[in-house]
Chain A
Amino acid sequence: GIQVEQSPPDLILQEGANSTLRCNFSDSVNNLQWFHQNPWGQLINLFYIPSGTKQNGRLSATTVATERYSLLYISSSQTTDSGVYFCAVGSSGTYKYIFGTGTRLKVLA
């Protein structure tokens, strides 16, 4: 099955700093999502981005499907950005999302 790797596993930032999170996947995919899991455990949709680039406020994401990776950019980080960021991928006909192991982000005030 598809393997999903995320890097870095852990990240500590000062408030206001920028960061880039990476998701590599081992096979072609039809679906790719980025999630933020907050300290209360909720999985919050950030982007549905099987290809291309999207932006939402301080967050943006880019997926290069032909090279099998996706990047999540966080600019001017805030303490509320803390939590775990997951990438999840799916391919047509598999009827499931495979999650990466996540990047644990801590933003210090």
Chain B
Amino acid sequence: DSGVTQTPKHLITATGQRVTLRCSPRSGDLSVYWYQQSLDQGLQFLIHYYNGEERAKGNILERFSAQQFPDLHSELNLSSLELGDSALYFCASNPVDTEAFFGQGTRLTVV
């Protein structure tokens, strides 16, 4: 158990819908990272938050947004879903500039 909790584990939804993925970092970690793993793209960095503030942005679509709340949990919102958004979405946390730990992921299927 990495200590990073992601919910839900699985999500099936229709095209055009909106979903929210949730992540709780390890106790004491202020950083949260979101990654997308699709079959043909590998693990792609989406966005990083540190103590509530956005620190870095990767290849995140405009239809996607994220935030980190005062209790340090984070949510990734995906809207106007397309078939191509089907993927494993991972959250990770770490103390500053050290080993990162990944959650079990949320498997999103868009039908």
Tell me the A residues contacting B by CB distance below 8 Å. Answer: 30-31, 33, 35, 41-43, 45, 48, 86, 88, 90, 92, 94-99, 101-102
Contact = CB atoms under 8 A, between A and B. Distances in A.
B105 A42 contact: yes
**Residue from A31, A33, A41, A95 whose CB has the most chain B CB atoms within 10 Å:** A95
Nearest to B49: A95
A94 B55 CA distance: 9
Nearest to B99: A48
A13 B57 CA distance: 39
Contacts of A102: 42
**Residue from B42, B56, B88 whose CB has the most chain A CB atoms within 10 Å:** B42
12 contacts: A31-B100, A42-B105, A45-B101, A48-B98, A88-B100, A95-B31, A95-B48, A95-B50, A96-B48, A96-B56, A96-B58, A97-B92
B97 A33 contact: no
B42 A101 contact: yes
Interface in B24-40: 31, 33, 35
A95 B56 contact: yes
A69 B38 CA distance: 26
B22 interface: no
Given A86-B43, A97-B45, 15 more contacts: A31-B99, A33-B99, A35-B102, A41-B107, A42-B104, A42-B105, A45-B101, A45-B102, A48-B98, A88-B100, A94-B56, A95-B48, A96-B45, A96-B48, A99-B43
Contact of A97 (B2, B33, B50, B55): B33
Contacts of B88: 41
